[in-house]
Chain A
């Protein structure tokens, strides 16, 4: 960048000639030119310097911007999370609707830890668990063995750190467990009983590879079929076991809502007890809550999540509130109940993001409410969605989950679809 010389005729001498002796020996024109040059040179240098400084600042800003962008890109690539969670300002940014993909009356939804597999649970049609890719393309579908749409009722679903898929089958009171591809692995049929556990005890030996087994709650029997043999049964009674909602906390503990008549509660299965073989299944299950309408009581609890501090949040559905418990499973308070514009009708599925922003699906309210539970008191942030059948509108939504990239998946039951929103 250069500074053009000013045209002589445009120069108007402003300084006395006596202040420049050389100019006295020159022609008027030359003198004017010399005078102009003498006056312009320092100003031009100063201007150049100023512009250089400005340029330097701009370059530094650009470099800083690139560094910031690089930092975010690096963080996003190494540990994907919602952009809102990475922004340094404490402002809530509601998500926006992206697209949806079809299921038959979906009531449960979950996503794998690698964000690549989305699992939706159908309550209509064939009542399958269906697996999709991030674009909503169907990969496969699956269901427990020995069941048809007439005798299974999958509702809620959760995926653990190993990619295992846990599905609550309320028709048979089973938490059915599949591998990430939908192959049936085992089932939890009691607080300390699994299908494999019961079957090994019945057979008195290991379960041969290729054996199919499941539970028939109507006849209170385990149904199994050894390879190349006929289907057989043996009785197993379930005790105080009626699992509904499923979620894993950050430590991998399985949290289950249990809706046994008169004994509605939350059960927590330690992560360590869910590893390894389930043949000698004896988890140190902890339980909190009881059935009722008072403080510390539940009426059809549907979902449990935890915040960063380990506090439990239970969607106490038929009481229309969120119940809060300490990590020691001591009741503290509730919120969301009442008639304000921040309260809930029929809270069902929930999800807690990394900022302790609690997302609650209101089945009857037809929206998702978001609360900030990071402070001493839960505060309402916003809600998104509304009743309808158009894009971004809900018709009896029932469950929600979020992946590591800030995508929200919402089971929109009566609209027969999973909606995808994103932060």
Chain B
């Protein structure tokens, strides 16, 4: 019997010796120390299953969703909501009800499987937290599981769009910037008031863990045909000299998803400092010591892959004083009569801008839109003209001075979600012919935030004689 027991024990030990692996503790997003053993939470030096360089234990998408399905993190990207009571870290404290960061509120980027969005715009801008928001299955989403998809507007001009396999880690750096060289020690990004002792050797997680540029993209290179006169594009960790108005300081608001509050594009996606560094603040917008490096300008970020959208006919530069018709008026304060935010809702007949009639005239008369401070066509036969990417530099108040007044952003995320959208495409966008031409699925919402083309009406309602009101 003793021999039998000994054999069993030895057998178990032998089995255990061959099946166990080096393990570790701690979460993945920063907090590393010089003696950290957190690496082995996700990586294996000799027995990785995925990634020739990442040496991941398992497929990264499943790895991320192990927590970000709500069971290990408040940010439930699967459902596009915060699934954790008391999540108010980014609430903004502006008294507008649940916003991103609050339990049960939508994620700004939407969700991959489901999303909580108010895609049916009633024309009302309201603080009602239940602003028609309902959770539905997404009608389009970025891939996150490594499957190859078309990258619209990618590649050399006048060529077919490229394809690329996206994963969570394509856009997000799970280490934040705490892990390695995205951040160099610099007083511009390390504030002694926040990080006493040796502040600039401390590394903090980047805003939303966004990378400087999507992993796998070659980084943005200004196309030769682009009429871009603004200077060099940002690259990893460098400064660009672009001045971006800090609307967060002005408005005290975080970005609001349209679906949650009805507010539109007033937020800190514009809010970087001169070094393209996010300045994430507390609810009272008074904390200035949390400088967080990230891909500040979403347009820059998105254009790492969708680069031909950036090969732009209407990018603004420092001399651009024009503005589209639906901008607020310089010196006025919302809410405007008839519309809390946008002038055109109650604009004079014809949509003439009260202080700058010429501004809206091309829209009103149907004349060819020229002379808006743009520099002509892009030269790309497929993507010849498009909206500017307004958050690069914007003086939405009509002033030539950078950063003056309240801005209204037209960053990519003003109209599109980054994870996934539930917008319904029931009109032209649902046309099977269109889908066939575009190579997209029928009813694919192309990540638009609102049903059909409601995003257009957010700014251009008056020009299409659209009756709005609660």
Contact = CB atoms under 8 A, between A and B. Distances in A.
Interface of A: 89, 91-94, 107, 123, 149-151, 153, 155, 170-171, 173, 217-220, 238, 240-242, 244, 259-263, 293, 299-300, 302, 317-321, 337-346, 348, 363-367, 382-383, 386-387, 395-396, 398, 413-414
18 contacts: A123-B78, A150-B135, A155-B70, A170-B83, A171-B81, A218-B104, A218-B116, A219-B129, A219-B130, A242-B85, A260-B85, A260-B86, A261-B87, A300-B67, A320-B24, A343-B24, A344-B23, A344-B25
A216 to B, nearest CB: 9
Contacts of A173: 85, 103-104
A361 B41 CA distance: 14
Contacts of A91: 5, 8-9
B25 A242 contact: no
What does DSSP make chain B's interface, helix, strand, loop or mixed? loop
A338 B72 contact: no
B130 A364 contact: no
Contacts of B27: 299, 318-319
Nearest to B49: A387
A396 B56 CA distance: 13
B137 A261 contact: no
Contact of B74 (A93, A150, A261, A320): A261
A266 B129 CA distance: 30
Interface of B: 5, 8-9, 12, 15-16, 19-27, 31, 37, 40-42, 49, 57-59, 62-63, 66-67, 69-74, 76, 78-79, 81, 83-89, 103-104, 114, 116, 129-130, 133-137
A382 B135 CA distance: 44
Top 9 A-B pairs, shortest CB-CB distance: A320-B25, A341-B20, A242-B85, A261-B86, A150-B135, A339-B37, A337-B25, A217-B104, A151-B135
A349 to B, nearest CB: 10
B84 A242 contact: yes
B37 A338 contact: yes
B16 A338 contact: no
Given A242-B85, A395-B62, A341 B23 contact: yes
Contacts of B81: 171, 218
A386 B19 contact: yes
Q: Which of A151, A218, A367 neighbours the largest number of chain B CB atoms within 10 Å of its CB?
A: A218
A189 to B, nearest CB: 11
Contact of A240 (B19, B71, B86): B86
Contacts of A261: 74, 84-89
A137 to B, nearest CB: 28
A340 B116 CA distance: 42
A363 B66 contact: yes
Given A345-B41, A396-B66, A365 B26 contact: no
Nearest to B38: A320
A398 B19 CA distance: 20
Nearest to A220: B104
A41 B294 CA distance: 105
